[in-house]
Amino acid sequence: MPLLEPEAPKDPFVLFDRWFRDASDAGALQPDAVTLATATRGGTPSARMVLFKGVEDGAFVLYSNYGSRKGRELAQNNRAALVFFWSIERHQVRVSGTVRRLSREASAAYFHSRPRGAQLSALASRQSRVVASREVLEKAVLELARRYPDDVPIPRDWGGYALTPRWIEFWENREDRLHDRLRYVRQKGGRWRLERLAP
């Protein structure tokens, strides 16, 4: 289906939600997997796949360890980017903006909604740090499971992030590489300007 300006919604989140649901309905493998790109204060970039946890108050939400490489980079430089790619639908969405931490209450609520095993793993792992072996991690999880037979405490260095977009670009594959690219750019007052980019 062509991606045309007259048919594009005024709010980019309406189009994002439609594309996300289309990818899920079409059987995309892990449609919530997204590339998160961050950079140090000096501009050295890094990227990795993370899990997208929804849109809240006009921001893309994810969770991670604050001491991980991404967490350390976001503490230095809160500008970041996301890339969603759903090959089954031949759609890509790029997002660029600024990131803030979610409240401790919101982070704890999400943490306690996760499976117990995921909670224990988050508590045991000092993400991105060098470890001697997998056995070390497995022993740590078993010890924590014994120590916390009921509720697992949220790690002090773990929580949510919200990326508020400065712009969102929608890319749709077309024949002969004459792809459609529409970009929404945030304006003052929260309105969006729609523009077409050459493929």
Candidates 21, 69, 177, 183; catalytic one: 177
Tokens 């792992």: give the residue.
Answer: 125
User: Burial level of 150, CB count in 10 A (0-12/13-18/19+)?
Assistant: exposed
How far apart, in Å, are the Cα atoms of 100 and each of 7, 28, 191? 32, 29, 21
User: For residue 93, which of 103, 83, 107 has the smallest C-alpha distance?
Assistant: 83
- The reply to whether 177 belongs to the active site is yes
Distance CA 45, CA 64 (A): 18
Sign of CA dihedral 84, 90, 91, 94: positive
Q: Are 76 and 40 in contact (CB under 8 A)?
A: yes
Which residues are marked as active site? 177
